[in-house]
Amino acid sequence: MTEQFDYDRVLASLLVPEVLSALADVHEHRGRERLYVTMASDVLDSLVESACIQSTGASNRIENISTSDKRLRELVTAGAKPHTRDEREIAGYRYVLDEIHTSHDDITVTPNVILQLHRDLYRFTGAGFAGRWKDSDNVIAEQGESGEMVVRFRPTSAVATPHAMERICDEYARQIGTGRYDPLLVSLVFAFDFVSIHPFNDGNGRMSRLLTLLLLYRSGYLVGKYVSIEREIERTRQTYYEALAASSVGWEDATSDYAPFVTYMLGVLTACYGELDERVARLSPGRSSEDVLRSYFDGLMGPATKREIMDANPSISRRTIERILQKLQVEGAIEKVGAARATMYRVRR
């Protein structure tokens, strides 16, 4: 019988053209990231706050946890006191995200540390299950065509969860220590196993994305600090779920194919690196705010809200953006669609 969590076997199975090609794309972008850290550090610094806001909002929205844009910004950047259950969960996510941003090199990947991060995720809620492995079995279910709930996947049982978490942490450490396989592949295999084990009563999705970010940082992939990986996952949510479903087939008996999930995540990283390239080019010194916004709209595929425009161009003040938007509308370069909070802007074709 094939042994579960045999990372030598799993990682060897990923050395196929589709995965290696996607991995090469990420490596190419990572080389430019290193150049930006040296040559465009001021531009990168201007992107951090916006990415943090977007990551916190997107990862929680995926789990149907939300608040207004104004409150989200206050919770993330000003440390505002949360007022609702959703806001308390959002504040906890921001807290753990800050920990990862500032201390990733010192956060080791062990069961006890993962339990501590989960406790911190719920630090503002008073949840009794915070920082504890699940105490009952859970299932991943979806609504069938006739409206009934259908079990899609059965994660690791509650009784087997502590051992499973020990195993994947040990395997991760062993693979990183030997250096035989690319740390990025090792990190994504760990992330998939984590979400498949589903070790907590609640918060598994958000914890999986936080741990993915942590492992990426520890492997030297810092793009998530400047461009929100969680927002790209939210944008491609259906594909995300399809990749999870495809890779979960046979997982419990160690016959699953990790490639769909790994390839999807490599694509997410490539998209984020592409966005980073665009932002660095757009925000580099010497360009006027108007030139920056014109360049932004030139690369825009669809409409964008004012908040999205501000988040993508954090070095430009709200007042300046509003002035330039008005000018571009008068020129006929862009047009406004919708009204009030639903207002969006798009290129006039």
Active site residues: 198
258 is in an annotated binding site: no
41 phi, psi to nearest 5 deg = -60, -35
88 is in an annotated binding site: no
* Gap between the Cα atoms of 189 and 202, Å rounded: 21
323 is in an annotated binding site: no
Residues 6+ apart with CB under 8 A from 104: 214, 217, 218
207 is in an annotated binding site: yes
The first and second tokens of residue 278, run together, are 């665009």
240 is in an annotated binding site: yes
**Cross-strand pairs, 149:** 143
202 is in an annotated binding site: yes
209 is in an annotated binding site: yes
Q: Which residues are annotated as a binding site?
A: 202-209, 240-241
The binding site for ATP comprises 202-209, 240-241
